[in-house]
Amino acid sequence: MADREERKFAELPRDSIKVMAEAIGVDLSDDIAAVLAEDVCYRLREATQNSSQFMRHAKRRKLTVEDFNRALRWSNVEVVCGYGSQDNLPFRSFKDGELFFVEDREINLVDLALATNIPKGCAETMVRVQISYLDGKGNLEPQGTVPAAVQSLTEDLLKYYQQVTRAILGEDQHLMKVALQDLQTNSKIAALLPYFVYVVSGVKSVSHDLEQLNRLLHIVKSLIQNPYLYLGSYIKSLVSSVMYCILEPLAASINPFNDHWTLRDYAAMLLSDILWAHGDLVSGLYHQILLSLQKVLADPVRPLCSHYGAVVGLHALGWKAVERILYPHLSAYWSNLQAVLDDYSVSNAQVKADGHKVYGAILVAVEKLLKMKAQSHAVPAECSASEGRAEREVSPGLSPLQEPLSELGFGFASHILQGGPGVPSEKPVPVPLPTMYNELYDFFGDSLAVRFSTGPGIRHPDGRVTISDRLFQPSDIKKEGCGAGSGNSNVETTRKMPQLTASLSISPRDDGSPKLDPTPQSCSSNSISARSASFHCSSSLPRSKSSSSSRQGQRSAPRDVFQKSRFTHSQATVPHLSFLISGRQMGRRCQGRRFQTSFPRLHPASSSQAARGYAHKLPVIGRMVKPIKRWVCSEYSLHLPL
């Protein structure tokens, strides 16, 4: 052995020779085998040495099978066929004993011949010239690391880019889907990444057009799901675009007919996706996002839709974010919301509708928080819950929490929160669950209790709703002012809850927060089984309407406006109940409330310039970086123009 190492070349054991001889039917004595083995080794070494010459002259560093075969041929030895593949031929070991072999799979030629994916030939060999160094001066750093953005694009790529952007932003729905699908799977578009990021950053110029915004967000989704792309620092730019959609009072939201809520939900979902998949790319990203969400939430001057965005954003980031940001802030915020909700004046209708949206969002977030919290301290939670059960008739609610179902999404955000780089280690003040529950109950009353209690049943593994068939309720609210305490609950209390459903179902790995399990608080008196049967909501408007009408006789509660909030769950088969809290009122515009007065129109919808217009501008790297920096350091940087 030592000898072998010292000599540094392969040696063939005598046994191998004997085995080979046996294979061709010759019986060798040991002596002959030994002599043969030695000779074979020598010939192999000789051939190897000769083959290295062919490698050197081919100006390669890697010795190929072909080189070896040439050496064999020139020494009048038959070449070895069948090993010309460029791929590695790994030695596999046989399980028992020290037997190694090269896997030699049988290939069905018929399949190969009839295969439809005929491989294309390689691209044409060509020569390209560039001036590498001028007057002997150039960048002395290795040029291999040139950022992707300054790589000159080949014509093919440019064409691809134009086609794809045109398809996505164009009229044809089918084409858009195909383009998005390709964007999601294409492995060769790394060079185009900055261009697409730039296109996405066009959100700020199309804030009047929900459709376009939606499509741009879809681009983001495709990009982050493409496994071949390394987003790197572009992640910041993408996040800032998404945050814009979540938080900004979009021009489109002036018109109450526009369902910008859905857009915000979707964007929040995207945000969680980004953090989930790429949160580690930029240190402190999570923290920065939390910070800006908090700022929006804490700013009473902002319109309600921004607050809504902040809440769903926090919700999307996970229950820990909710606990850290939303929960401590709730009491302060509550008074404002209360004021809005309690104003029954007609002029306030619109704002109030918005307020209900926010209310619903908070409710959902808080509910999630409680559930996760309960789960994380399973045992103490149950104890406390059982106490609460006795007191507050929430009894049936807590026990199912321990069901593993809700673990599905348990904590991407908590993972980031704890382990993410740059996130300060300050922990939220640990509030014991009962205390928290009590506090929250003060705000939400029974609606919380009811929702809380019904949690686990809803989550349906297949609950996937694509954005296209998402629930869209144009205007099913007739009135809203009269909702409180009215007996005719199904009509007046049909309020659309924020469509968190969408985000839930699209990202099932999300921590299950938007478990919108709408049971009216009256249900608390019902049996569990009855409630669990009622979880399912329709995924289409008519169904929800009809089902909403089916549910009756809700007991009015302090916040009975919300009591019948229902959420769509995509188990569309059994549309049981859907009480909708609508966040929208048709035909009424109310202004003059402070939520509305401060509505900043930073980007008037006047600019009809579609994002498509950006498609042809070549982005400069510096431009990609700038807004991120601003976003980091300035307060409301999100809406700073690029």
Partner 1 sequence: MAAIPDGPVKSETELEVKPDSVNDIAGNPNVVQGIGGTPKTSPSVAATVASVTPPDITDRQTLLAVLQFLKKNKLLESEETLRKESGLCLDNEEQSGSVDGGSVCATGDAEGSDASLLSRVSGVTSAPAAAAVTGAPVPAKVTSATSAGDDQPDVSVVLSAYSQQGDPALYQVYYSGLKKFIESVLDCHRAELSQVFYPLFVHMYLELVYNQHEAEAKDFFDKFHGDQECYYQDDLRVLSGLTKKEHMKGNETLLDFRTSKFVLRISRDSYQLLKRHLQERQNNQIWNIIQEHLYIDIFDGMPRSKSQIDSMSGSLAGEARREANKAKVFYGLLKEPEIEVPLDDEDEEAENEEGKPKKKKPKKDSLGSKSKKQDPNAPQQNRIPLPELKDSDKLDKIMNMKEATKRIRLGPDSLPSICFYTFLNAYQGLTAVDFTDDSSLIAGGFADSTVRVWSVTPKKLRGVKSAADLSLIDKESDDVLERIMDEKTASESKILYGHSGPVYGTSFSPDRNYLLSCSEDGTVRLWSLQTFTCLVGYKGHNYPVWDTQFSPYGYYFVSGGHDRVARLWATDHYQPLRMFSGHLADVTSTRFHPNCNYVVTGSADRTIRLWDVLTGNCVRILTGHKGPIHSLAFSPNGKFLASGATDGRILLWDIGHGVMIGELKGHTDTIYALKFSRDGEILASGSMDNTVKLWDATKAFDDIETDDFTAATGHITLPENSQDILLGTYVTKSTAVVHVHFTRRNLLLAAGSYNP
Q: Which residues bind partner 1 (CB under 8 A)?
A: 6-9, 38-39, 42, 45-46, 49, 53-54, 56-61, 66, 70, 74, 122-138, 140, 142-144, 146
Q: Of 22 and 46, which CB lies nearer to partner 1 in the complex structure?
A: 46
Q: Of 144 and 227, which CB lies nearer to partner 1 in the complex structure?
A: 144
Per the CB < 8 A criterion, the answer to whether 326 and 290 are in contact is no
Q: Of 42 and 472, which CB lies nearer to partner 1 in the complex structure?
A: 42
Per the CB < 8 A criterion, the answer to whether 248 and 641 are in contact is no
Structure tokens at 341: 């909700």
3-state secondary structure of 351: helix
Q: Of 6 and 111, which CB lies nearer to partner 1 in the complex structure?
A: 6
Q: Of 188 and 629, which CB lies nearer to partner 1 in the complex structure?
A: 188
Q: How far apart are CA 577 and CA 191, in angstroms?
A: 50
3-state secondary structure of 604: coil
Shortest Cβ distance from residue 133 to partner 1 (Å)? Answer: 4
Using CB atoms within 10 A of its CB, is residue 329 exposed (0-12), middle (13-18) or buried (19+)?
middle
DSSP 144-184: GG--GGGSPPPHHHHHHHHHHHHHHHSS-HHHHHHHHHHHH
Using CB atoms within 10 A of its CB, is residue 373 exposed (0-12), middle (13-18) or buried (19+)?
buried
Shortest Cβ distance from residue 81 to partner 1 (Å)? Answer: 17
Q: How far apart are CA 7 and CA 342, in angstroms?
A: 91
Q: Of 58 and 79, which CB lies nearer to partner 1 in the complex structure?
A: 58
Shortest Cβ distance from residue 230 to partner 1 (Å)? Answer: 16
Shortest Cβ distance from residue 6 to partner 1 (Å)? Answer: 7
* Sequence-separated (6 or more) residues with CB below 8 Å from residue 184: 221, 222, 223, 225, 226
Q: How far apart are CA 381 and CA 387, in angstroms?
A: 10
Shortest Cβ distance from residue 186 to partner 1 (Å)? Answer: 19
Shortest Cβ distance from residue 202 to partner 1 (Å)? Answer: 32
Cα-Cα-Cα-Cα dihedral of 216, 218, 219, 221, to 10°?
A: 130
Q: How far apart are CA 579 and CA 582, in angstroms?
A: 9
Per the CB < 8 A criterion, the answer to whether 261 and 364 are in contact is no
DSSP 49-64: HHHHHHHHHTT-SS--
**Phi-psi category of residue 103: left, alpha or beta, with phi > 0 → left and psi -120 to 50 → alpha:** beta
Q: Of 102 and 146, which CB lies nearer to partner 1 in the complex structure?
A: 146
Q: Which residues pair with 93 in a beta bridge?
A: 100
Greatest Cα-to-Cα distance within the chain, rounded to the nearest angstrom: 109
Shortest Cβ distance from residue 64 to partner 1 (Å)? Answer: 9
Shortest Cβ distance from residue 618 to partner 1 (Å)? Answer: 21
Side-chain half-sphere exposure of 363, counting CA atoms within 13 A: 37
With residue 625 as reference, give the H or E element that holds it. Answer: helix 621-633
Using CB atoms within 10 A of its CB, is residue 289 exposed (0-12), middle (13-18) or buried (19+)?
buried
Q: Of 136 and 461, which CB lies nearer to partner 1 in the complex structure?
A: 136
Shortest Cβ distance from residue 129 to partner 1 (Å)? Answer: 5
Q: Of 105 and 137, which CB lies nearer to partner 1 in the complex structure?
A: 137
The residue type of 637 is S
Q: Of 132 and 573, which CB lies nearer to partner 1 in the complex structure?
A: 132
Q: φ and ψ at 567, to 5 degrees?
A: -120, 145
Q: How far apart are CA 202 and CA 240, in angstroms?
A: 11
Shortest Cβ distance from residue 169 to partner 1 (Å)? Answer: 32
Shortest Cβ distance from residue 71 to partner 1 (Å)? Answer: 10
Structure tokens at 145: 């690391």
Shortest Cβ distance from residue 85 to partner 1 (Å)? Answer: 14
Shortest Cβ distance from residue 42 to partner 1 (Å)? Answer: 5
With residue 102 as reference, give the H or E element that holds it. Answer: strand 100-102
Per the CB < 8 A criterion, the answer to whether 181 and 174 are in contact is no
Q: Of 109 and 134, which CB lies nearer to partner 1 in the complex structure?
A: 134
